[in-house]
């Protein structure tokens, strides 16, 4: 095992433990610390007593006997060594160049940002309002009538460029019948009628069928990459299954409500970060 791999393992363990236990303070971090609020200092970085106490609590939960002074000293030394590894990793540039380390930090930050949502009670009235505003999302399609355009890679005709050209034509108001003359005829022809999702899946496969399920009549997709080419789907008509009762899918509604709430919390926090820090873009 080479030195870099050893450093990575120690660093990741330290990051997961340290960032995980300090997640509450990550989002609302402050640089103001009184002298009596830290228990150790490495260069200019302080290990706060609050963080030390969190580590002590975690260590105590794994022990049956009361903690001794030796145990407390042990925890402090491990925290100092963890900070030394992180400081050294910074000096070596690992926090900016090592994808595994960066991925761990990013995921822990995301977890800390949305963790506050977990302590907020979700009122049933909020769930019902969310359900009423998104009934179409919770209603599955029963039968669909779909057409497709196919652009093959086989004859080296630059399928991607051709598919994009037809897509732009449709965006500008071109009709689908004319667009079909610009595509290849080698795709399996779909029945020109409403068919079940199971039958449609036999023609399009699961991924494109799922895309079609979320479309409204008259809508078409951008070019979708498939084996040996690209496809554009056009939804002509759909018949939906009966709208489910709120009580029968309450757990599903709650799950989607929480997902969108977390997504919004993360998006708002990222927007705030762009205002807190100076960001310079050098793209062409």
DSSP string covering 36-60: GGEEEEETTEEEEHHHHHHHHHHHH
How many beta carbons lie within 10 A of that of residue 43, not counting itself?
Answer: 8
Q: Is residue 208 part of a domain?
A: yes
Tell me: do 98 and 157 sit in the same domain: no
pLDDT value of position 94: 84
Tell me: do 209 and 166 sit in the same domain: yes
Q: Is residue 280 part of a domain?
A: no
Q: Is residue 133 part of a domain?
A: no
For every residue of 83-116, which 3-state class applies, written as one string? HHHHHHHHHHCHHHHCHHHHHHHHHHHHHHHHHH
pLDDT value of position 44: 83
Q: Is the pLDDT of residue 26 over 90?
A: no
- Rounded to whole angstroms, the Cα distance separating 220 from 208 reads 12
pLDDT value of position 10: 52
pLDDT value of position 22: 46
CB 224 within 8 A of CB 212: no
Tell me: do 13 and 78 sit in the same domain: yes
Q: What strands, in cross-sheet order, belong to the sheet with 141-152?
A: 195-196, 141-152, 229-240, 224-226
pTM score, whole prediction: 0.56
Whole-number Cα distances in Å, 284 to 8, 83, 110, 245, 281: 35, 39, 30, 51, 9
Q: Is residue 173 part of a domain?
A: yes
User: Which tokens belong to 1?
Assistant: 């095992």
DSSP assignment letter at 184: B
pLDDT value of position 115: 86
User: Where do we find the tokens 């006997």?
Assistant: 65
What does the pLDDT look like over 256-266, one tens digit per residue?
Answer: 999 999 999 99
Q: Is residue 163 part of a domain?
A: yes
- Which residues form the domain of 169? 140-240
3-state SS class at 2:
coil
Q: How confident is the model at residue 130 (pLDDT cuts 50, 70, 90)?
A: very high
Q: Which of 72, 90, 119 is the last residue of a domain?
A: 119
User: Which tokens belong to 32?
Assistant: 């103001």
How would you class 36 by CB atoms within 10 Å of its CB: exposed for 0-12, middle for 13-18, buried for 19 or more?
exposed
Q: Is residue 160 part of a domain?
A: yes
Tell me: do 105 and 8 sit in the same domain: yes
Average pLDDT, the chain: 83
3-state SS class at 223:
coil
159 or 283: which carries more pLDDT confidence? Answer: 159
- Rounded to whole angstroms, the Cα distance separating 165 from 222 reads 11
User: Which tokens belong to 50?
Assistant: 């609050």
Secondary-structure breakdown of the chain: helix, strand, coil percentages, each rounded to the nearest 5? 60, 15, 25
Tell me: do 79 and 176 sit in the same domain: no
Kindly report the CATH number assigned to the domain that includes residue 174: 3.10.50.40
Tell me: do 175 and 90 sit in the same domain: no
Tell me: do 171 and 68 sit in the same domain: no
Q: Is residue 11 part of a domain?
A: yes
Q: Is the pLDDT of residue 127 over 90?
A: yes
pLDDT value of position 211: 92
Tell me: do 144 and 112 sit in the same domain: no
Tell me: do 161 and 101 sit in the same domain: no
Chain-centre distance for alpha carbon 52:
31
Q: Is residue 267 part of a domain?
A: no
pLDDT value of position 28: 45
Q: Which of 85, 119, 153 is the last residue of a domain?
A: 119
Tell me: do 7 and 110 sit in the same domain: yes
Q: Which of 224, 240, 256 is the last residue of a domain?
A: 240
Q: Is the pLDDT of residue 155 over 80?
A: no
CB 235 within 8 A of CB 215: yes
168 or 24: which carries more pLDDT confidence? Answer: 168
CB 250 within 8 A of CB 181: no
pLDDT value of position 254: 94
Tell me: do 105 and 7 sit in the same domain: yes
Tell me: do 46 and 75 sit in the same domain: yes
| Average pLDDT value for residue range 138-161 | 84
User: Where do we find the tokens 């260069």?
Assistant: 43
pLDDT value of position 224: 93
**How many domains, in total, are found in the chain?**
2
């Amino acid at each position: 095992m080479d030195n870099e791999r050893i450093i990575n393992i120690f660093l990741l363990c330290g990051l997961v433990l340290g960032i995980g236990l300090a997640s509450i303070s990550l989002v609302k971090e402050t640089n103001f610390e009184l002298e009596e609020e830290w228990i150790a200092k490495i260069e200019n970085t302080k290990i706060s007593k609050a963080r030390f106490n969190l580590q002590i609590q975690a260590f105590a939960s794994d022990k049956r006997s009361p903690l001794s002074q030796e145990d407390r000293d042990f925890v402090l030394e491990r925290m100092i060594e963890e900070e030394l590894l992180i400081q050294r990793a910074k000096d070596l540039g690992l926090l900016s160049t090592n994808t595994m380390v960066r991925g761990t930090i990013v995921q822990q930050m995301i977890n800390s940002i949305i963790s506050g949502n977990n302590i907020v009670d979700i009122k049933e009235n909020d769930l019902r309002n969310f359900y009423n505003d998104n009934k179409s999302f919770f209603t599955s399609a029963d039968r669909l009538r779909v057409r497709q355009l196919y652009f093959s890679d086989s004859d080296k005709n630059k399928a991607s460029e051709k598919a994009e050209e037809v897509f732009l034509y449709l965006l500008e108001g071109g009709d689908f019948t004319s667009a079909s003359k610009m595509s290849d005829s080698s795709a399996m022809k779909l029945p020109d009628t409403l068919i079940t999702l199971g039958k449609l899946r036999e023609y399009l496969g699961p991924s494109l069928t799922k895309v079609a399920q979320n479309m409204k009549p008259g809508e078409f997709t951008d070019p979708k990459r498939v084996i040996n080419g690209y496809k554009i789907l056009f939804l002509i008509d759909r018949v939906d299954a009966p709208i489910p009762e709120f009580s029968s899918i309450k757990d599903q509604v709650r799950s989607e409500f929480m997902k969108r709430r977390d997504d919004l919390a993360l998006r708002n926090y990222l927007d705030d970060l762009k205002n807190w820090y100076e960001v310079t873009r050098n793209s062409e």
